Amino acid sequence: MEKLTGFYVKVSQWLNNEKGAQSLEWLGIAALLILVLGIVSSAISDQESGITDIITSIISKIKGMVG
């Protein structure tokens, strides 16, 4: 009976360990961030104007909305 109890304790410790799940969540967030940065960089590199023109356009649109 002691061996069964010891086995149960070891298995329950493995199942209650959430360190692996947390690291998988961080890996997912990092992968999503890399994907978004890749999309943004490819969108900017396809444009003939530079990033300053894009930022200036965004700021002028925000100023137009605000007043």
pLDDT tens per residue across span 55-67: 788 888 888 888 6
Calpha distance 56→53 (Å, rounded)? 5
Higher pLDDT, 14 or 8: 8
pLDDT at position 17 over 80: no
- Residue 54 and residue 44 in contact, taking contact as beta carbons nearer than 8 Å: yes
Structure confidence at residue 29 (pLDDT)? 93
Write the pLDDT tens digit of every residue in 29-54. Answer: 999 999 888 887 777 776 666 777 77
Which structure tokens are listed for 6?
């010891």
